[in-house]
Amino acid sequence: MENGRDSDVVVVGGGVIGLTTAVVLAERGARVRVWTREPAERTTSAVAGALWWPYRIAPLEAARAWALRSLDVYEELAGRPERTGVRLVEGVLGETGRDEVDGWAAARLPGLRAATAGEYRGSGLWAQLPLIDMSIHLPWLREQLAAAGGSVGIRAVERLTEPAAPVVVNCTGTGARGLVPDPSVRSVRGQVVVVENPGIRTWAVSTDPASGEMAYVFPHGDRLLLGGTAEEDVWSPEPDPARSAAIVRRCAALWPQIAGARVLEHRVGLRPVRHAVRLEREVLPDGRLLVHNYGHGGAGVTVAWGCAREAAGLITG
């Protein structure tokens, strides 16, 4: 069995963080191999709503910096949406004030303004943000990796010292809880419902001030991704029919036509939440380098490129 000895770097984990990190390293000239327990289409990244916006991630100041570096990339990729899955789409950040974007993102978001009563029933911000179709974006990342000479192998890892490469990068998300082991990694379970799109072209994210329950609607062509939930310390990957029905009801309160939309799929993802993203290097007892890049909560897509470049810098300097 291939042990990674012929690679400069083995990246463990094949979600958006692992693949993006592998692409950055391969494009810098490293021989990169990704080891992943599941194909990208079966990772939490495939379930992501994938609107560019920091969510459930700490520390916030660092997350915002990573997000802005990623925004540079997504704005460029949005010029080829059919290939990359990235589009710049307008919508409403409900229950969000201007003070939450001033000082870090406002200058980067042209057209940012208060939502009108016709656009949203409460107070919110109208913004144009990257919205990523992960069913296109994850295969595109794989293609970019292959074009740069890297590869992906389906392989479960029991220990981070298992790969024989000089450098190992840990991008295992919730898997880091047992693999590192790191008991501070927690699951915040997210459930979404995919329905036929009745003609909605803008997105919305809404939070009920009383209950704290959220609803989001993300259009991807002829499909809508409806969410969502944030169940702390819940590890079940099975969809809950009652929660699915509640998601549809909350989203239909934003757009009534959603109530009659045909349901296509139910999905569950486990967000890897931690008190702080772990992005640091560690020297193994045998002198090899282990770089950790995990704990991105609900913002993996949002910060992927910024974190990948920082991780690469920990290796290449």
Q: Return d(Cα 6, Cα 262) in angstroms, integer.
A: 49
Class of domain 1-88+129-185+274-317: alpha beta
216 carries a ligand binding annotation:
yes
298 carries a ligand binding annotation:
yes
300 carries a ligand binding annotation:
yes
**pTM, whole model, 2 decimals?**
0.97
Residue-wise pLDDT tens digits, 28-79: 999 999 999 999 999 999 999 999 999 999 999 999 999 999 999 999 999 9
Alpha helices by DSSP H, the chain: 16-27, 60-77, 81-84, 134-147, 176-179, 241-254, 300-316
> Quick one: which of 157, 154, 184 has its CA closest to 272?
184
103 carries a ligand binding annotation:
no
Please identify which residue in the block is written with the tokens 């595109």: 140
15 carries a ligand binding annotation:
no
316 carries a ligand binding annotation:
no
Residue-wise pLDDT tens digits, 180-231: 999 999 999 999 999 999 999 999 999 988 788 999 999 999 999 999 899 9
- Alpha-carbon dihedral of residues 97, 276, 17, 108, nearest 10 degrees? 30
Residue-wise pLDDT tens digits, 163-177: 999 999 999 999 999
- Interhelix angle 60-77/300-316, rounded to 10 degrees, is 100
184 carries a ligand binding annotation:
no
- How many Cβ atoms from other residues are within 10 Å of residue 103's Cβ? 9
